[in-house]
Each structure stands twice: as structure tokens, then as C-alpha cells.
A = this chain, B = another copy of it.
Amino acid sequence: MAPAETKGYRLNHTMIRVKDPEKSLKFYRDILGMDLIDEHDADDFKLFFLAFPDSPSANAQSRAHREGILELTWNKGTEKQSDFSYHNGNDEPQGFGHTCISVPNLQEACDRLEKLGVEFKKRPQDGKMRKIAFAYDPDRYWVEIISTE
């Protein structure tokens, strides 16, 4: 039983840093279909909040009431540094693993992503586990893809 004091708690978002928001928005918004639901532009950095339009909490009364939000932090200027890259948490030193998107049809989704130039660590047909795939986002973070079917 959850403590009474935690009533109403929600897992609102996950934040990852991205080198180049143009590439990240192409991936998460234009290809994967997330909505850019909010932005916060500061002098040195800019935050992008993305969520799927079919999210169960899409009609929540505010951004803070939602779940399933991805926050991208862009520290301005990193996109111009050729030797700059973020750490994906799966190469050493390990920590963070991945985000995961569920889709109605895994094979169709992955075939489409592959055609659109998305790189995969593991397609559904690779290896033994046919029910999961791992794509790379533009910063080489892993995005697991599973099926709701």
C-alpha cells in the first residue's frame, strides 16, 4: 500500500541533454510523432518538452499533471563543437539505460524508422528477442521500442 501522503504523485518526465535540438526535434517530433508541448528559452540553454498526442494524460489540466513527457536540454553552442558528444549511460561509465516507446505494431514501426534513416542497435529481427528493438536517437541514447499488441 502506498503511503497516504503520496496520493496524486506522478512520474512527470525524464530529462536528457541533447547536442543539437534541430536533429533531436527531427527525431522525436517529426519522425516519432511527439508534440512539442512546451519550451523554455534561457540565455545559455533551452528546454524542449515533448509528449505523444495519444498519451493517456494528454488532456490533463496542466503540464505538471501529465506523464510520459520527455524533456530535452540544449546547452547552446554544443551543436557547433565537432568534438562534443553526450554520454548515453550504456557505454562506460554505466547508469541510465534507455527510454522506451510502445507502438501498435513493432515491425511496421521499425521498418518505417529504418527507411527514414534511423539507426538501430537491434531491430526486431536481430537476435533472439523478437518483441523488442533498440533504436539510437541522434545523441546515441538508446530508445527501446515495444509493441502494445
Which B residues touch A6, using CB under 8 A?
32-33, 52, 103, 109
Could you mark each residue 29-63 of chain A with 1 if its beta carbon is under 8 Å from any beta carbon of chain B, else 0? Answer: 01111110000000000000001111111001010
Q: Are A147 and B64 in contact (CB under 8 A)?
A: yes
Q: Are B57 and A56 in contact (CB under 8 A)?
A: yes
Q: Which listed residue, B3, B30, B100, touches A14 by the CB 8 Å rule?
A: B100
Q: Are A95 and B103 in contact (CB under 8 A)?
A: no
Contact of A55 with B32 at beta-carbon distance under 8 Å, contacts A87-B95, A96-B16 already known: no
Cβ of A69 within 8 Å of any chain B Cβ, yes or no, is: yes
Q: Bin the interface of chain A by size.
A: 35 or more
Q: Which listed residue, B3, B17, B69, touches A11 by the CB 8 Å rule?
A: B69
How many copies altogether?
Answer: 2
Q: Are A8 and B104 in contact (CB under 8 A)?
A: yes
Q: Which listed residue, B5, B87, B101, touches A93 by the CB 8 Å rule?
A: B87
Cβ of A82 within 8 Å of any chain B Cβ, yes or no, is: no
Q: Are B88 and A17 in contact (CB under 8 A)?
A: no
Q: Are A148 and B64 in contact (CB under 8 A)?
A: yes
Closest chain B CB from A135 CB (angstroms): 13
The 4 A-B residue pairs with the shortest CB-CB distance, nearest first, are: A6-B33, A67-B68, A96-B96, A2-B33
16 cross-chain CB contacts under 8 A? A2-B33, A2-B35, A5-B108, A5-B109, A7-B104, A8-B54, A9-B33, A9-B102, A10-B54, A14-B96, A16-B95, A73-B97, A87-B89, A87-B93, A87-B95, A96-B141
